Amino acid sequence: MRVRLVLTAAALLTAAVAPLAHAGGAGGLTIDEYGTIGADGTVTVSGTYRCLDDSEGPVFVSSTLKQGSRSTGIGGTRAVCDGHLHTWANTAVVKEPVYQPGAARVEATLVQLTAGASGLPLPGFLTTEQADVELR
């Protein structure tokens, strides 16, 4: 009986803490308030992340930039999941039409790839953040 109680308590604690471990707790993913646009259409957005290694598969920081009716994926950065705070920066060359300086919105996501039943990698979304940014 005592063993069952301990196992039940451990399972409940694991279920409550697991989402925090993946995202690094509150503040697991942030987006910087400014992004850059190069003369050649190169766009860079950045921020910080924190995650823990659960050895289930690689983790990436993906990002999408939205301005007006336009939405474009801006790169992906491999995350180091060691519980420490790290910076991320994603870059892509975007042309026709080029993004303009001014207000935009960024959505960043920590994505973990894990092997599905078929053996193909499947994405698992650990945490997502959205923020208004100023493109310069």
Specify the CATH number for the domain of residue 121. 2.60.40
Q: Share the mean pLDDT of the chain.
A: 82
Contact (CB, 8 A) for 107 and 128: yes
Q: Domain count of the chain?
A: 1
Q: How confident is the model at residue 5 (pLDDT cuts 50, 70, 90)?
A: very low
| 49-74 tens-digit pLDDT | 999 887 788 999 999 999 999 999 99
C-alpha torsion 99→124→111→48, nearest 10: 110
Residue 98 structural domain: 2-135
* Backbone angles phi and psi of 89, in degrees to 5: -145, 125
Contact (CB, 8 A) for 74 and 63: yes
Please report the pLDDT score of residue 86 as a whole number.
97
Contact (CB, 8 A) for 77 and 89: yes
| 94-111 tens-digit pLDDT | 988 889 999 999 999 999
- Cα separation, 115 vs 109, in Å, equals 19
Kindly report the pTM of this predicted structure. 0.76
Helix/strand/coil for 128: strand
Q: How confident is the model at residue 30 (pLDDT cuts 50, 70, 90)?
A: very high
